[in-house]
Structure 1
Amino acid sequence: MRVVLPAGTTETALIDGISAAGAAPELMEHTPSADVEILAYGEPVMSPVTPVSPNGCPTPAAVTRAVREVVDFDVAVVDAGLTQSTAAPTVDLGVEPGTDVREAVAVPAADAVFDHAYDYGASLPDDELLIGETVPGGTTTALGVLTALGEPTAVSSSLPENPIERKRRVVDEALAASDFEPGDCEGRPLEAIEAVGDPVQPTVAGIAAGALEAGTEVTLAGGTQMIAVAAVLRHAGIDAPLSIATTSFVADEQGDRLEAACDRVDTDLTITDPGFDGRDHVAMERYCAGEAKEGVAMGGALSLVPDDEMAAVRDRLEAVCTRLGIDGSGEESPTTEEPRGL
């Protein structure tokens, strides 16, 4: 099993109140670079931030890394528009960071990004792929693409209280800047991404499309952001079987809307509950309180864990948190000196 993780940035994440993926704008652009280092090495190596919320909730990369330490899997990180360099080995497809969706063009050359990613996905030798993502602001761009495609759905949030109305206002401004109305991009998904998306979307969609064409079984590892990618694939005429694997935290927030959205884009749905409510540890408590919820292929990684090994994942998460400078009470370890941003 290989987990493919496209990692990128979009200036959309800098819009006030949109994302919890950065405590300050100057830190947010480091979050995806730190995420992939945590997945590759177990902790940040070159990135100057440890992505942890002020309440002690670590990036989902910590959970995915904990799973990797219990259920080993290969990882391929794809640079899908990183602003900051990373020490993790990456596949470079020439993707540039995204701009603010309220500009006329959010993702220049989205079609070229898709084509390069398609070739990469088609070249992978695996029988099965999990494709994840890390991109601050990604739920807002997901809402933008879904709206442009005419797919009515809500999206999740990394915040306990989803600022969905603020996201909708941003999407309305973004569509107006690109001279589109909701649904204008039906059947033209790359135009939707170019107008109101982010660079991770055509990267994930292209990799998935190429892999599916090559006969590989593909699972999109994530929540409502991956519903947007699935919609892109369906609007592009790709009708191969497709699955989405996410967490119980997304399912709890979305309720029946999650299954309905998956039905609309004709994907199977796997929901995994990691059992965090049984542990007295700040990281797991914050996930249960609605922080983070998903990202960095967390839901897909958790779906690989046999039931009798989930307790081991929780143990490893505590160990990863210790390496990240988080003790069980949420107090900062005295050995941690890095600025934080989730």
Structure 2
Amino acid sequence: MVDNVKIFGSDKVLKELEKSENMVFACVLGNTEVSKIEGISGAGGSPEMTPYTPALDVELMLRNEALSLPEIAITESDEVPAPTPGLLTKTTYELLDMPFVAVSAGLEVEPKTSYISLNGQPGGDLREGKGVPNPKEIYCNAVETGKLLTQLSDHLMIGESTPAGTTTAQGVLTALGYDVEGKVSGCMMHNPHELKTCVVNRALEKNNVKPGDLKDDPFKAVEIAGDPSLIAIAGLAIGSSVPVTLAGGTQMTAALALIKAIKPDFDFSNIAIATTVYVANDETSDILDIVNQIGDIAVYAADPKMENSSNPGLASFAKGSVKEGVGAGGSVLYAYLKGITPEEYLEKLEQLTAAVFG
């Protein structure tokens, strides 16, 4: 048992991660027009700023500063603006010199850093019946990238930065036939379930699709109701030759559902979700129920102890703001497995936050 980590299901992948000597972290980046819908996401601080969020997250990781805008992305909270969850992943990156690679699945704003392109396009507005224009191309390129990355590593951790990604995750899961209404998480304290469901229902109606109609056509599900990151994550995992940790919240359940639909014989004993306790304990969502609908897949929830932070923005995570993103939960888990204590972790996180935001 690992202190400050909740384990739901098998600990096999966790043990593989613990003994890993050459883990690589791939952060998948994506945009859709959905993030510009007022009230659906707090990422970036305002709807019109959401296209910049993934690029800014990667620029912070690799360059320690914002290059695409004057300031690093924030998340609007009901109390105080919260810093990007990318700071948690940045903390592990700094403490352990964690190998990190950015993967563009389909971006409106490309980062001004190095990254791998899957030749994807940003997603559209689900209300117009438009998800991802080229999901199969993104998938094939992601499979190739997964094969390449795991020739160089013994464990693949996949995170994501995709504003409004829980809405598109709900869209894909619904199209595939899963019961997820009111169960996906969100980055705001108030989870706008009615708005998300309205957007998803509109996407299906525009395409004359009922829930579950596309259970055997996962690429069509992404095309009408998804985002580029979800199909990219599925491709990376399927291409991997080593154990995979999906570092994220309920968005990762949609990637798992796509994997199951694309490759029914996939060995799910070699993959797990790693998230934060803020997602696992979230009363406005139910990640465990969604995972259980898909299969026997482990979920690990790491506790960053952010309620102990003297920084109001960081402390707001423990109150339900942000919760997850950019692989935060997986990166905290990895730090703990490699011997970093919660106190050491939080101290470094606060130092980085002060350096970036003052």
- Identify whether the pair has TM-score above 0.5, normalized to the shorter chain: yes
The within-5 A match list for 1:1-342 is 1-54=23-76, 55-124=80-149, 125=151, 126-153=153-180, 154-211=183-240, 215-236=241-262, 237-240=264-267, 241=269, 242-254=271-283, 257-266=286-295, 267-306=297-336, 308-326=340-358
The amino acid that maps onto 2:315 is E
Structure 1 residue 52 displacement after superposition = 1.8
Moved more, 133-142 or 103-112: 103-112
Deviation string 1:157-197 (CA, Å, 9 cap, x unpaired) is: 00101011110011111111121111111122111111100
Task: Tell me how far apart the structure 1 counterparts of residues 203 and 154 of structure 2 sit (CA, whole Å).
Answer: 39
RMSD over aligned CA atoms reads 1.6
Structure 1 residue 83 displacement after superposition = 1.2
Task: Tell me how far apart the structure 1 counterparts of residues 154 and 75 of structure 2 sit (CA, whole Å).
Answer: 36
Task: Tell me how far apart the structure 1 counterparts of residues 175 and 288 of structure 2 sit (CA, whole Å).
Answer: 21
Confirm or deny: 8 A CA contact 2:130 2:203 kept in the other structure: no
Structure 1 residue 99 displacement after superposition = 0.6
| Secondary structure at 2:123 match in 1 | coil
The amino acid that maps onto 1:75 is F
| Secondary structure at 1:77 match in 2 | strand
Structure 1 residue 320 displacement after superposition = 1.5
Confirm or deny: 8 A CA contact 1:148 1:180 kept in the other structure: yes
Unaligned 5+ runs, structure 2: 1-22
Structure 1 residue 256 displacement after superposition = 8.8
The structure 1 segments of at least 4 consecutive aligned residues displaced by more than 6 Å after TM superposition are: none
Task: Tell me how far apart the structure 1 counterparts of residues 285 and 168 of structure 2 sit (CA, whole Å).
Answer: 22
Deviation string 1:14-36 (CA, Å, 9 cap, x unpaired) is: 11110001323332211110001
Q: TM-score, normalised by structure 2?
A: 0.86
Q: TM-score, normalised by structure 1?
A: 0.90
Structure 1 residue 227 displacement after superposition = 0.6
Task: Tell me how far apart the structure 2 counterparts of residues 279 and 202 of structure 1 sit (CA, whole Å).
Answer: 36
- What percent of counterpart residues are identical? 34
Deviation string 1:224-261 (CA, Å, 9 cap, x unpaired) is: 00011011111222421220000001011158932222
Deviation string 1:297-318 (CA, Å, 9 cap, x unpaired) is: 1111011122652212211111
Deviation string 1:34-69 (CA, Å, 9 cap, x unpaired) is: 001112233323433321235131011011101211
What corresponds to 1:334 in structure 2?
Answer: none
Deviation string 1:259-285 (CA, Å, 9 cap, x unpaired) is: 222222221111101111222221221
The amino acid that maps onto 1:50 is I
Task: Tell me how far apart the structure 1 counterparts of residues 252 and 306 of structure 2 sit (CA, whole Å).
Answer: 23
Confirm or deny: 8 A CA contact 1:99 1:106 kept in the other structure: yes
Task: Tell me how far apart the structure 1 counterparts of residues 273 and 25 of structure 2 sit (CA, whole Å).
Answer: 14
Task: Tell me how far apart the structure 2 counterparts of residues 34 and 224 of structure 1 sit (CA, whole Å).
Answer: 22
The amino acid that maps onto 1:133 is E
Task: Tell me how far apart the structure 1 counterparts of residues 284 and 155 of structure 2 sit (CA, whole Å).
Answer: 28
